[in-house]
Amino acid sequence: MFWSKPKNYIPNPKNKDGTRKRVFVGVSGGVDSSVSLALLRDAGFDVTGVFIKVYHPDFLGCDWRDERLDALAVCQKLDVPFLDLDLEKEYKQDVFDYMINTYKKGETPNPDVFCNKYVKFGGFLDFAIKNGADFVASGHYAQNIFNKSNGLFEMHKGNDANKDQTYFLYTMPQEKLAKVLFPIGAYPKDKVRKLAEKYDLFTAEKKDSQGLCFVGKVKMKDFLQEFIDENPGDVLNEDGDIIGSHDGAIFYTKGERHGFEIFPEAKTPDTPRLYVIDRDQDNNTITVGPKELLEESNKKHSHEIKITETNWISDEPKEELKYEGRVRYRGNLIPCMIRFSHVGRSCGQRKYIATFDTPHNAVAKGQSLVLYKDNQCIGGGIIV
């Protein structure tokens, strides 16, 4: 048996009557979920592997069938039951449609956050509990720790800083966290692969999946053009002069340097590479400039970031305490303080303002700001 007992929350696998507690493990066909399944099996739980089928557009190829076969093969290797769970409808509504609608508003969505909230720890968790499971488990790099002093569950960073996924899990409320296990959260990635080798799992050498299944290898702009009509507009320089054209401001993000056209008469042999430094969706224009202007524009971001639709995992942040904030996955953690804002309270959405010691660069509306205190993920919200 290769199980160890880190501080990561792993309950007693036995009930008082001696029966085993049931855990439904989300298996994707990758190394992380397969090792999670093996660890929980060896710890003494009654485990079942569950492959979750999600939505993807017909015009894109997706290897979900191959992933399902890999997940099934892992379950057969470990001699545990295997189930299929179809959550296409939930994924389409709560992740896919949300993503497209957010882009249409000129904001930048965070579909991985919504996938965890509504699919993996929404529909999947509901399915598991209804079918007699005591817990669900996933291959996320995060740690669920029970604080005996206050009786609350806390979410802490995964042991592998390069793989920590708490940024995508900040929406987890207490009642769900009490039913969720992260078996590999206390292990670095290389240890997980070594465990897969010891279990003789073929996933030990399998590459990590990248990005969203329904996007695949298609560029995001090409993908969005399947759902959002082109709307040609003007490319401006920093002085506001028209120097080119584009397919629609909605398709561009700050820092891009491809996909727009600069008129021949606006170029010289000395023209540097041009980057999107701003976009005006109302007027359907994008402004471009050299890298120096992009960097200067990034530095002008406010030290304050407003968030709404917040979730605080174990306790609301305190105004007098110092935290660290992250505005993108693997982004820098920057010291900040947070306070409650009464703006927007009348519409039922509490808003908070995070004030940073140094400004965050390229902050995008629609993304998430997630707060940390040391290794603990406090929670976060959507940037407005």
Q: Which active-site residues does the annotation give?
A: 115, 213
Of 249, 263, 179, 183, residue with least CA distance to 221: 249
HEC string of the chain equals CCCCCCCCCCCCCECCCCCECEEEEECCCCHHHHHHHHHHHHHCCEEEEEEEECCCCCCCCCCHHHHHHHHHHHHHHHCCCEEEEECHHHHHHHHHHHHHHHHHCCCCCCHHHHHHHHHHHHHHHHHHHHCCCCEEECCCCEEEEEECCCCEEEEEECCCCCCCCHHHCCCCCHHHHCCEECCCCCCCHHHHHHHHHHCCCHHHHCCCCCCCCCCCCCCHHHHHCCCCCCCCEEEECCCCCEEEEECCHHHCCCCCCCCCEECHHHCCCCCCCCEEEEEECCCCEEEEECHHHHHHHHHCCCCEEEEEEEEECCCCCCCCCCEEEECCCCCCCEEEEEEEECCCHHHCCCEEEEEECCCCCCCCCCCEEEEEECCEEEEEEEEC
